[in-house]
Chains A and B, each alone.
Chain A
């Protein structure tokens, strides 16, 4: 049988068919200790289909079982499910291969389930770097191996992490890396994350520079490597030319952080130092590029000190500048070991570009050809004679070069002085020679008093009243008085009433020449008031034409104009007296001193209609008169007379009417305006009759105005001597009304400007004329008080000059 078998075997082998080869159990392993699988490797199949059967027996039993599941774990494997797995049992497993010829069994494999547990690889490994505050964290996250039975949470996995640098052969398992493991139970799954902190070795430090300030010691500075949150120590190492030995920096402190100070003992010249800086942390170290230093060539001194600037004058008085300085205190120049050369630069303070001057080894410098009157900024720096580098510039020094006016200007002044004294000499000489002429030129003769001229004309014409007025105005003291006079005069001129009045002045053509334009110009009063030049021109004109020559008559003539001229002359005279004594014919007389500008001019005249102006004029007249005549009557009641006068005038134009004033004034003012009166504002046409104002205190004041009809009577008013004074009381009506009759007295012989006023208290007009004392006080009071309308009766201040 055996033989047969052998034969068969031989046969089979001869046919290429034989027993199957011995299978080999490769491994058994359990994923989770609850099930396990075994794999085998089939042997040669012997050329025939071979079946593989796995048998196992448990250590506790003799019984032999066959594999329960050949499918689950793939081909050539056997899966032992939970029911067939016992963690506490050792399995004896063999695999038998069988074919037609025979069978072959593998070596038995003893399997202890607990020992063959091998989990699957963790899955879902992800890597993520997170950088915060210069620390880079590497996060590795993964999931535990997937399991069929997810219910169990009793498994504890141990993980191992290995790293290797890309391209490297060897894996590094954890190694020096710090890591922490967080185990988190999520849905029965163990999820583990690993935090890696990677500490990199430091970067290369850089040696910035080495410098020797005095050619005896030197210092090197470096830029430290970034520490990455972990301490780095820097080490400076150096070796000297021709020596193998490497030394460490002798002094890290003296020159501050990140520097190394080589004192005298450690400093050699004409030797190359090979200096490196090593940065070290716990991960490793890095070395800077070597720095080759020959101390001879790295000398950079400190800037020079004790810089002094001194200005000096050279022989020819030109200023020059001496600069002195000292070498930096560290540098030992005396021994000759270090030789310094200097360079200075300067510029004007406002300049842009520096001018550089190489000085050499000397420690002083003279500067010539300086711009005088300018400020210079000067700086100095120094450098060793051969090698090394320039020091910093010294602090800026300022110096101002004074202007040399003493030299130049002195000459100029001397020349000027000599010349001027020469001129003076010549002048005085000439003056001595022709002394009287010069005197006459410099001090022109005081023009003779105007009064003579006036006298001439007036006397020629025999107008004594004008003469008197002219006399009266002489030496007229206050400026304002004259001004007021002017205003009054102008107002009188301006009065349109006069124009409207039928005039009978044909016989009086002589003196009215200048009035023509003013009559047509309704505003002329104001204009002439505003512009003194006009007035003065007018004055001139009137003066010029004051002669009884033939003058144009426009049919509208007024005696008032004549009066106005008279007052104008007075005014001019007054002003002339105050300014410069000028000849009568001198046009300069027209110059109006600014002080005399009528600043206190009443503004209301600026817009008043002619009628208003007229009334105001009249009222002003009354105002001025009122206090004068009434005497102790309060001066600040000018309004009432105004209204009264106005009424009177208005009434005048019609027929004479009586009207009652509504004022409660006690005094009764009676005014008479005489045509030949010296006061210009007394309009004879308007006021040729008598105004009687009587106001009773207890009874309603009643004033009766009796205005005489002007027409047909006025032609004679201008003729001196025809003026009448209403001094007579003709009748007394109702105990309150006085009727005055004109007195045929010659006005010229008496007080020219005396307004005839009769009041119950003061009836004696003749006494009033002669009594000048109370009149004299009037102007001043007026001026003080009356701002609204500075009107004054010129007549009130004339008497003193009588």
Chain B
């Protein structure tokens, strides 16, 4: 690394000199190779000699936010695809106002509520919502294949969301564990009883059940993403993002 930096410096200085151009090229190549190699390996998080070596809370939140952002992105895409493909002209939206299975969990509905709620409660709520989606996501990934001519993009996203949701849940548990200083909150979650509706013979009803589920998934994933961003700003950046 030292050699590399030196060489880089040198090369940057002698840019104008044509004689060293070949040398410079070689140097850049070498440094590039080293750098790419470096990129693969994880960065050393723990400084040498640190006793309690762990990922910082900020880093944890960063990852969680990235993950939740990604999950919401996927669920939005999936919902839009489904909506375009199957829900046109069926007026599903008018029927979808009946709520989602997670509506029993009282989550903040606006900024004020989100700011007022204690961060531990909010974290527990996030955990609850994530847990509540464990089951339906598993079924969704399997049942979505029963949809007639379901495009691969939808299928793939269902699987991807299920996996990423698990990862996020793990990460959130870690964060909660860190914030709660070891205490793990009671495992609240809202059970899902929508599997039979996904297996209805009537296609219209079944499609609506999917529509509703995807709609709720999009909404809850956005909720989680939003809450996480608020929490991150509050806990890591002291409400000054």
Contact = CB atoms under 8 A, between A and B. Distances in A.
Nearest to B232: A336
B114 A337 contact: yes
Interface string B25-62: 00000000000000000000000000000000000000
B99 A334 contact: no
Contacts of A333: 241
Contacts of A337: 111, 114-115, 226, 229-230
A566 B225 CA distance: 114
Interface string A200-215: 0000000000000001
A276 to B, nearest CB: 12
Given A335-B241, A337-B111, A339-B229, A241 B73 contact: no
A336 B230 contact: yes
Contact of A271 (B73, B109, B225, B234): B109
B76 interface: yes
A336 B109 contact: no
B97 A215 contact: no
Interface string B88-107: 00000110111100010001
B229 A336 contact: yes
Contacts of B97: 241-242, 272, 274, 292
Given A316-B15, A336-B230, A385-B69, A296 B222 contact: yes
Contacts of B72: 386
Contacts of A387: 76, 222
B112 interface: yes
A335 to B, nearest CB: 6
A268 B110 contact: yes
Given A274-B97, A336-B233, A216 B111 contact: yes
Contacts of B98: 241-242
Given A292-B94, A337-B230, A386-B76, A267 B110 contact: yes
Interface string A691-720: 000000000000000000000000000000
Interface residues of A, number: 27
Contacts of B112: 264
B239 interface: yes
A332 interface: yes
B240 A334 contact: yes
Contacts of A292: 93-94, 97
A387 B226 CA distance: 12
A336 B103 contact: no
Contacts of B223: 269-270
A200 B218 CA distance: 44
B229 A242 contact: no
A290 interface: yes
A294 interface: yes
A386 B103 CA distance: 22
Interface in A35-74: none
Contacts of B226: 269, 337
Contact of A294 (B219, B230, B237): B219
- Which of A216, A241, A270 has the most C-beta atoms of chain B within 10 angstroms of its own C-beta? A270
Nearest to A271: B109
A290 B94 contact: yes
Interface string A130-158: 00000000000000000000000000000
Nearest to B115: A335
A270 B241 contact: no
Contacts of A268: 109-110
B231 interface: yes
Contacts of B103: 242
Interface string A333-362: 111110100000000000000000000000
Nearest to A241: B97
Nearest to B240: A334
B219 A336 contact: no
Contacts of A294: 219
Interface string A289-325: 0101010100000000000000000001000000000
A489 B22 CA distance: 84
B17 to A, nearest CB: 13
Contacts of B230: 335-337
A271 B108 CA distance: 11
18 contacts: A242-B103, A264-B110, A269-B226, A270-B109, A271-B109, A274-B94, A333-B241, A334-B237, A334-B240, A335-B239, A336-B232, A336-B237, A336-B239, A337-B115, A339-B229, A386-B69, A386-B222, A387-B76
Given A335-B233, A336-B232, A337-B226, 18 more contacts: A216-B110, A216-B111, A241-B97, A241-B99, A242-B99, A267-B110, A268-B110, A269-B223, A269-B226, A270-B223, A272-B96, A296-B219, A335-B111, A335-B230, A335-B241, A386-B69, A386-B222, A387-B76
Interface of A: 215-216, 241-242, 264, 267-272, 274, 290, 292, 294, 296, 316, 332-337, 339, 385-387
Closest 10 CB pairs of A and B: A336-B233, A268-B109, A336-B229, A241-B97, A336-B230, A242-B99, A337-B111, A272-B97, A270-B219, A334-B241
